[in-house]
Structure 1
Amino acid sequence: MMSIGWRSLGFLIIILLLAACSASQGGGPEAELNASANQADEQATPSPTPSLKAPPASKWDDRTLYAQNLNPSGQQFLDALPQASVYHIWLTIPENMTEMLTGSLEVRYINHETVPLEEVYFRLFPNYAGGQLTVQNVLLDGQPAASTLESDQTSLRVALEEPLNPADAVVISMDYQLQLPETMGGNYGLLGYFENILVLDTFYPMIPAYDQGSWYAHRPYQNGDLTANDASFYLVEVRAPAELVLAASGSVVDESINDGMQTLTIAAGPARDFYLAGSPSFSVLSEEWNGIQVNSYALEGYQTHQRYALQDAIQALETFSDLFGPYPYRELDLLSSPMMALGIEYPGIFGILYELYEEGGFTYGVPNQAMLETVVVHEVGHQWFYNVVGNNQQSEPWVDEALTQFITQQYFVERYGDGAGSALETNWEDRWAQVENEDIPLGLTADKYEGREYSAIIYGRGPIFYRQLEADLGRDVLLEGLRGYYQQHQWQVATTEGVRQALEKACGCDLGGWFSGWVYALE
């Protein structure tokens, strides 16, 4: 189960309590993006009637609720990210999943760039993933605002009446409706209601990262993950049928049941995004490690591998905490779900392909129990590299994926001794061999890889790059560099140069030749 906090308080009461607290503002992280937002569909979103009132600015900076989701090591960042966006999201899930999911959101956005902004973009990723996300009643500080759909309705441009200067804030609110796809579509089938399991990947309008004069507002590339977000804070109220067992990013701080509907208030952050899943058929196994509650969700009848997954996650938490630094949250959830991938990561939670829970089965010729451990470890590793240390997964997918592939192998070495990661190394080599070991650079944008190249280079050649560095620099030096990279870039958006600089600091050497030969795009 999720951690339970103030049971007697409702979401709106919590908002009112926060309004009594004072605010402070400062600097925030930036992303390195190369996006274009000039594909306008020119369909203005009407906002005739305000449905949400702009809240007092003073409430946005109280981080008390979020502390309940953070370990002491994570709580130090509550006041270190004063310019992070703060979302308040309301979501109602109907009993019949073929009906519309409805909700509202309000977000306080602070311009932490060095130039004034004339607009703020929101991504509507369900419109890419086979669903339909529509918005109404867009407000700026409580007043109707003009908005335009772009990039095949995957982006919403909200025009600002006056340029938003650096360090200035605006509160944007809107209502939204979400129609789930009926079949698995784009983005690996991560949004929908399949096999009696509800999965809500990027279900709400979200603000993407901005840098170098552009927003990430283009239509997402087919390869790679969708999001490229700054770290934010989320306070989410979910109304859902009482029989739905829910798992989400963050921790539950309030809950109630009335007339067959449950209402949960969830606090999450800092986090790259917010994820929610549920099923009336979920069972939950839980265990605590080092003050962290680990919850394993699976359908009835899969308890054996459900417990294996739980133990694998705990061992990965221990290994990566020792190698790089403490896991920031007090909770980690994992769940089995249908998808067109082996696993998918979100802040404080991740999904695993549910076929891996079948006892005695094989996936790609590998016994399910062995494959399950590998996938669980990989997704736990993403809590360090994707969530805490962010990166642009569209323009530099290698930064988190190749590294997480490599540290998955390091987990096996740590747990089982030298040679234990050889099967993974063989897998890397087999992947790269699919493109005949071509020296295709690691640092390309996701759209530049064709056919098998994305898997072969990002998941094959990428970790081989780290293995070769390990052979040259020594394991201790390489791990020192990766630990420094993690510590330096927590809750920021890192780039290829951040990786290189951290490794060069650890080895006291120039790795320009390595990066030119493996990573940088050829001129």
Structure 2
Amino acid sequence: MKAFIATFLTFSLVSFSCNFLTPTATPPPSNVSDVPDFLDTAWHDRAIFKDGLVPAARPALGELGGASVYHIEMNIDDDLFHVTGTQDALYTNNEDVPLDEVHFRLFPNILGGKMQISNLRVDESTVQPRFGLQNSLLIVPLGEALEPGESVLIHMDFSVTIPQSVDLNYGVLAYDDEVLSLAHAYPMIAVYNSEGWNEEIPPQAGDVTFADASFYLVRVTAPRDVTVVTSGRTVSAEETDQVQILNVASGPARDFYLATSPNYEETAQIFGDVTIRSYTPKGLEEGSQAAAEIASRALEVFNARYAPYPYTELDIVATPTLALGIEYPGIIAITSWIYDGSKANPYFESTIVHEVGHQWFYN
């Protein structure tokens, strides 16, 4: 699987406790009209991801035919710290040995939250999973060995309770100060390589994920009165009296991240083919504008030194994280406190530049 990681990087640089329960996922309200063809997009159709990539990065779409593909419905409750969802994942065996199981990571269970899985199916057949690593590992048995080059479709429902504290792992998964930070909040396929399935309980002081480049189609349903910021590109959006629905395409990317708050305000500017959007709570507009300008200059420098930034969007969100900043594909989270008096804060510029740089040396 290291080949997947290297392929996308090359294009960028050169061109619960967890219990097996009855279904708990809550579908969008029945009075909401959805986009019927979005999550029905053919599994190997990469066209929907094209507009999210700058021209120099689009050849990667033809080089990742065996990458995992996620179709996810994610429903955020009114309280902003409960999430339910449904996930279908197409996994292809890109190794040279047959596989008789597929491993998923349930990171909320070691990040202070709780993730539960139900209605697990493999190619429409119900299966019973095994769990490990403090319920952060989901082992899905396959009815027959998956030969090299073959694919399998794995379905599950999930629910997540978000911790209301930033104490664990810098608050990457937390609801605090009216901001929901939703990192690694879906069942994530583990990496298989020469070492086998890569799985461990990572230290709380570091990055918890190791993932292959994948493709994501995600439908997010959230309260209407919040601003939702995600990885990737919003393909379509609609609202009712109570909720908003965003259909998002992201990839190739190693993860899917979301932040939301009723207090976010947006600042935007353009750098070449890239739209930079900065989101902060009210009262931090000056810092928000400064963040966008710093990110724009960072893109200019890194584009010249390395290769074009691959995505058509770069988002910056202020969150209560205890880290100065954290990187995700196409989006970076910056701790809110360094925005105040940002021009005089010695950490502000360096933190934003550092996190922008991870778009080349992480994703």
TM-score past 0.5 threshold? yes
Task: Quote the residue 1:257 is aligned against.
Answer: 239
**Structure 1 CA distance, aligned partners of 2:341 and 2:41?**
53
What is the correspondence of 1:399-414 to structure 2 with a 5 Å cutoff? none
Give, in whole Å, the separation in 1 of the partners of 2:244 and 2:23.
31
Contact 1:45 1:149 in 2 (8 A): no
**2:359 matches 1:377:** no
1:219 Cα deviation after fit: 1.6
8 Å CA contact 1:47–1:139 kept in 2: the answer is no
Distance in 2, matches of 1:182 and 1:380, equals: 27
CA distance in 2: counterparts of 1:352 and 1:104, whole angstroms? 29
2:49 is paired with a residue whose SS is helix
**1-side partners of 2:314 and 2:357: how far apart?**
12
Conserved? CA contact 2:278–2:291, under 8 Å? yes
Question: Which 5+ residue runs of structure 2 have no aligned equivalent?
Answer: 7-15, 28-38
1:179 maps to 161
Structure 2 length normalisation: TM-score? 0.89
Could you say which structure has the larger radius of gyration?
1
Residue number among 69, 74, 97 corresponding to 2:57 in the alignment: 74
Deviations 1:348-404 (A, max 9, x none): 00100100011179xxxxx41x311100000000000000xxxxxxxxxxxxxxxxx
Higher helix proportion? 1
Residues 1:271 and 2:253 aligned together: yes
TM-superposed CA distance for 1:225, in Å, is 0.3
2:283 to 301, 319, 323: 301
Q: Deviations over 1:427-468 (max 9, x none)?
A: xxxxxxxxxxxxxxxxxxxxxxxxxxxxxxxxxxxxxxxxxx
- Give, in whole Å, the separation in 2 of the partners of 1:380 and 1:210: 28
Match of 1:314 among 293, 296, 305: 296
Check if 1:352 corresponds to 2:334.
yes
1:329 and 2:311 are equivalent in the alignment: yes
For 1:214 and 1:186, locate their aligned partners in 2 and report how far apart those are by CA, in whole Å. 28
Q: Where do 1:122-521 residues align within 5 Å?
A: 122-359=104-341, 367-368=344-345, 370-387=346-363
Deviations 1:326-354 (A, max 9, x none): 00010000011101110000000010010
Give the gaps of 5 or more residues in structure 1: 1-26, 32-40, 362-366, 388-523
**TM-score normalised over the length of structure 1:** 0.62
Give the Cα separation in 2 of the matches to 1:271 and 1:48.
29
Task: Determine the C-alpha separation between the residues in 1 that align with 2:357 and 2:342.
Answer: 26
4+ residue runs of structure 1 moved beyond 6 angstroms?
41-44, 47-52
Residues 151 and 218, structure 1, Cα contact 8 Å, conserved in 2: yes
Match of 1:411 in 2: none
The answer to whether the 8 Å contact 1:51/1:137 transfers is: no
- Take 1:304 and 1:199, find their aligned partners in 2: how far apart are those partners? 23
More strand by share: 2
3-state SS of paired residue (1:29): helix
- What percent of counterpart residues are identical? 39
> 1:59 corresponds to which letter in structure 2?
A
**C-alpha distance in structure 2 between counterparts of 1:193 and 1:352, whole Å:** 15
Task: Determine if contact 1:232/1:272 at 8 Å carries over to the other structure.
Answer: yes
| Structure having greater relative contact order (Cα 8 Å, sep ≥ 6) | 2
Deviations 1:151-185 (A, max 9, x none): 00111111111111111100001000010112223
